[in-house]
Amino acid sequence: MSNPSLTTATPAIDPSFENVWDELVWRGLVHVSTDPEALRALLAGPAITYYCGFDPTAPSLHLGNLVQLLTLRRIQLAGHKPLGLVGGSTGLIGDPRPTAERTLNTRETVEEWVGRLRAQVERYLSFEGDNAARIVNNLDWTAPLSAIDFLREIGKHYRVGTMLKKDAVAARLNSDAGISYTEFSYQILQGLDFLELYRQYGCVLQTGGSDQWGNLTSGTDLIHRVEGVSAHAIGTPLITNSDGTKFGKSEGNAIWLDAEMCSPYRMYQFWLGTADADVIDRLKVFTFLTRAEIEEYAALVEAEPFRRAAQKRLALEVVATVHGIDAAAAVIAASEALFGQGDLAVLDAATLRSALEELPNAQVAAGSSVVDALVATGLVSSASEARRAIAQGGVSIDGVRVEADDATVPLGLPGGVSVLRRGKKTLAGLLPA
């Protein structure tokens, strides 16, 4: 197995699969779909146009969205033409959550978030060649549509009884919050999107999370009613951990794709923490490693789980995909240096600071007491305990053992920070006050 710190998988078609449908199934990306045999034939034939939508209900996409972005890319690699839809109109409403009504964002906020999400979606697609991607905004066709035209041309094709049976709607109807007509209408707007994309680009496939299945089939049903043709949908599974905990959360915080909202270092550490029981499934979903490579890592998990080779490769691949190979290399260097396997003094300043912010940390002034810093970071509970730890030779700062209890904090690492260590594995960050 090659050194994962030096190589990453270039997105490419896995030669072990005759059809991208078979690859999607093997990777566990098909939880529910319209006619599987028809889809397999469709994806094996001439290039089709397909799409996935992303609503700007936050200023960044997250790991759940990454499943869809990588699925879009896999199908494009097989020769098909992707449309990345950013919901300038549906983002003004938001799809119904199972518990309570969304707070509507201002038009200005949604417009700003549309731009941010568009830039994120573009990172995962190719805009060159015969199957070049295209980014679309559903505000372009909904904004000119009057309420009367919407009701006459689109609303008439929907039956309220069917709409009430959709999972998201049914959950809200059975909750104390109920559901507004605004959110109830969301599935009609998403159906309209698929119809418009079929009319404009010949789009015949939509992908999305299985929790969106009601919205996905809203479009396939509408196209069949209005145009008399069959369109298709694929619902990917919701990713869950084997222990039942929610995937994509780190101490209660979402793992965002925006580096300002979730640093590459924090993302890297999140993936390093993947359980052995989950790591192979994560490699299938979140990397472009081939089936043969993933099977090698599965064998390593069985034979040498203590090496955590699969977790290291997973963390590298995802960070490189989301933030670039340079960012991935920087966080690997920081991670190794913090634990004594590299030179702290040569690390990238921004990466080092983001790493220290993930550790217990305190703001201190250069020249302040190491004893006080040990207490401030929580590495010890009192000044007397700090002095005993120093006397026993168990404290270092920036990789240098602290010899005396009157030692001071240098803040001499890149970015004006220091790394405080007690024992072999207990670290804290010291940031400039």
Q: Is 269 annotated as a binding residue?
A: no
Cα Rg of the chain, angstroms: 25
Q: How many Cβ atoms from other residues are within 10 Å of residue 229's Cβ?
A: 10
Mapped onto helix, strand or coil, the DSSP state of residue 6 is: coil
Angstrom distance (rounded) from CA 69 to CA 325: 18
Q: Which one-letter amino acid corresponds to residue 182?
A: T
Give me the amino acid identity at 396: S
The CB density around residue 211, as the number of other CB atoms within 10 Å, is 17
Q: What is the C-alpha separation between 409 and 186, in angstroms, rounded? A: 57
**Cα–Cα distance measured from residue 282 to residue 305, given in angstroms and rounded to the nearest whole number:** 16
Residues 100 and 175 sit within 8 Å (Cβ to Cβ): yes
Nearest partner of 212 among 114, 98, 121, judged by Cα: 98
Closest CA to 281 of 323, 240, 234, 235: 240
249 is in an annotated binding site: yes
51 is known to lie in a ligand binding site = yes
| Per-residue DSSP letter, 188 | H
Amino acid sitting at position 148: I
Euclidean distance between CA atoms 218 and 214, whole angstroms: 6
Q: With H, G, I as helix, E, B as strand and everything else as coil, classify residue 96.
A: coil
CB contact at 8 A, 319 and 257: no
Helices 276-286 and 63-77 cross at an angle (nearest 10°) of 50
CA distance 193 to 187: 10
Q: What is the amino acid identity at position 275?
A: A
The b-or-e profile of 100-118 (16+ CB within 10 A means b, else e) is ebeeebeeeebbebbeebb
CA–CA separation, 141 and 91 (whole Å): 14
Q: Residue ranges for the binding site for ATP?
A: 249
Q: Residue ranges for the binding site?
A: 51, 186, 190, 249
Q: Residue ranges for the binding site for L-tyrosine?
A: 51, 186, 190
